[in-house]
Homo-oligomer: A and B are copies of this chain.
Amino acid sequence: MAESMYGLKRTHRCTEVTKEEIGSTVTLMGWVQKSRNKGGIVFVDLRDRSGIMQIIFENGDIDGEGFEKAGRLRSEFVIAVTGRVEARSGAVNENLKTGEIEVRANALRILSESETPPFPVEENSKTREEVRLKYRYLDLRRPDLQRNLIMRSQVAVLVRQFLANEGFLEIETPILNKSTPEGARDYLVPSRVHPGSFYALPQSPQIFKQLLMCSGYDRYFQIAKCFRDEDLRADRQPEFTQIDMELSFVDVDDVIDVNERMLAFLFRQVLGVEVQLPIQRMTWIDAMNRFGSDKPDLRFGMELTDVSEVVKGCEFAVFKNALEAGGSVRGINAKGQGAMPRKKIDKLVEFAKGYGAKGLAYIAIQEDGSVKSSFAKFMQEEEMKSLIEAMQGEAGDLLLFAADKTKLVWDVLGALRLELARQMELFDKDEYRFVWITEFPLLEWSEEEQRFTAMHHPFTMPFEEDIPLLDTDPGAVRAKAYDIVLNGNEIGGGSVRIHQNDVQEKMFEALGFEKAQAYKQFGFLLDAFKYGVPPHAGLAYGLDRLVMLMAKEESIREVIAFPKVKDASCLMSEAPNTVDVKQLDELGIALKAQESEQ
């Protein structure tokens, strides 16, 4: 049934044919998007990667056998058509790049037929994602998904081009690695040659890129596959792709400089968007105080206000207890939301509870200046006035307060701010707003482990002037770490690394590590550090998320060709699957009986 394309050569992709070609003969190949017979003429929309071309089959232009074949065409048949380019006989189609022309066919080959696909291949598919993922090879034909993957390819090409021009070398690091106890859960690979031993898939090329700096490669990058065996959230995949880089003989400003120029290049080339340089920088503490988040969305205001000082004398137990426990009281002002119905406010309270808040206190200022409030009865009139004033509350505003440990207050109000902004449509979806977050704390206190842990990783350099604080007030030490944030999403992060033995030892001390333990965990890196280490720093982007934001998608699955779903399986290939016992025998492993089966 299927014909060969032997002897035939495609001359153009569909939308490469322009008005200039009118009168000339072209050969196009692609998929039948749709086909209809109207008054004895067969009209076919032919689709390829570039777009659509309308093809006209009329008996006489094409011989009888060809015309008969044209009548049999159905969606997703693959055909080769030769014909003459003409100006459209019917109405111009403004929606098509090729809307002013069409091709009058004089030859047709059916290269492959198609069964009726389980769902139509069309933009903005309404088909359930599970079905789309099962038939991913069909889903991937949809123009929106094709645009995303084409953009992703462009981004990768441009990143490489930019970094190569800046003197970066792309160096591949191994996928089959050693398992390290620190960090997220590793994917393991049993070794056949060494039964009982396992490789681990890398969570990042961190140690290798630092080794490459020790080895003098100066500037390294890689678009690298990384793996984490964690339970998946909406925007996580068991394997994900990082744009990973590391530079020698640099400080924070050097890393920021090259990355700003890279982002500007990328957004200009791919989206035609001009990123204003330098990108704004904000310290971590400012970001938390103002936006309740270390990845603030700066497309809108609605900043947090610390009202602890204002309410410190009041009798409202929620505020009082929080302050007495060393916490704080902070609020946000939802401008113009003073008339929000009680039910909707209750939903916001529920929302806040989802982030760990015990509740949410509010003041709704009516248009007439009177207030409705959940806690007015516990407050003096003067106190209320001061509070509203501190919040710059005006008629028609809704003031929302959280009181608790400061970290929790930040989290709650940070999330609430985003939620309100969504409801109030405060941001422009076409705006790309970047910000660098700097001066992260080096250490954070782990309640669970009752010790300080590294916020970034144990090789992150503290600020020189803060090093003495490692002995006296470790929590106050600032790290030379930085994140790049786009529209409220962390798209990349990194740090200057420690390259001095004495600082590294102080760091391990602060973390409560024994030296021997440090060696066990980071052995060959520390060995390498004995033989001359350059100062170095790096940064890594999540490519999937970056492209998702550039493509204005809600899920990274829309920018990954063959993604996995929440249970880390692939609905198309049905990976993972069972294997032969023989394969396991060779690896020296066996399945454990399921507890439920015992």
Contacts and interface: CB of A to CB of B under 8 A. Distances in A.
Interface of A: 1-2, 4-6, 10, 13, 29-32, 47-49, 76-78, 80, 111-115, 117, 136-138, 140-141, 146, 149-150, 152-153, 156-157, 160-161, 164, 169-179, 181, 185-201, 208, 211-212, 214-218, 225, 227, 229, 231, 238-239, 241, 248-249, 251, 464, 499-503, 524, 528, 530-535, 560-562, 564, 567-570, 572-580, 583, 585-592, 594
A49 B218 contact: yes
Contacts of A4: 464, 500, 535
A251 B174 contact: no
Contacts of A160: 157, 160
A535 to B, nearest CB: 5
Contact of A218 (B48, B201, B216, B568): B48
A193 B186 CA distance: 13
Task: Provide the main secondary structure of the chain A interface.
Answer: loop
Interface centre among A140, A153, A225, A464 (most CB of B within 10 A): A153
23 contacts: A2-B500, A5-B535, A29-B534, A47-B216, A49-B217, A80-B249, A111-B534, A112-B500, A141-B215, A146-B217, A149-B217, A157-B164, A172-B241, A172-B560, A174-B575, A175-B225, A176-B238, A191-B568, A193-B569, A194-B569, A195-B594, A196-B594, A199-B575
Contacts of A577: 178-179, 197-198
Interface centre among A146, A531, A589 (most CB of B within 10 A): A531
A469 B472 CA distance: 85
Given A29-B534, A176-B575, 20 more contacts: A2-B500, A4-B500, A29-B249, A31-B216, A49-B216, A111-B533, A111-B535, A112-B500, A137-B524, A141-B216, A157-B170, A171-B561, A175-B227, A178-B576, A195-B591, A212-B561, A524-B573, A588-B591, A588-B594, A590-B591
A211 B113 contact: no
Contacts of A146: 216-217
A555 B455 CA distance: 42
Contacts of A251: 5-6
Nearest to A213: B137
Contact of A189 (B115, B189, B248, B570): B189
A422 to B, nearest CB: 31
Contacts of A208: 561-562
A578 B530 contact: no
B5 A177 contact: no
A69 to B, nearest CB: 15
Given A2-B499, A592-B588, A112 B533 contact: yes
A173 B575 CA distance: 13
Contacts of A77: 532
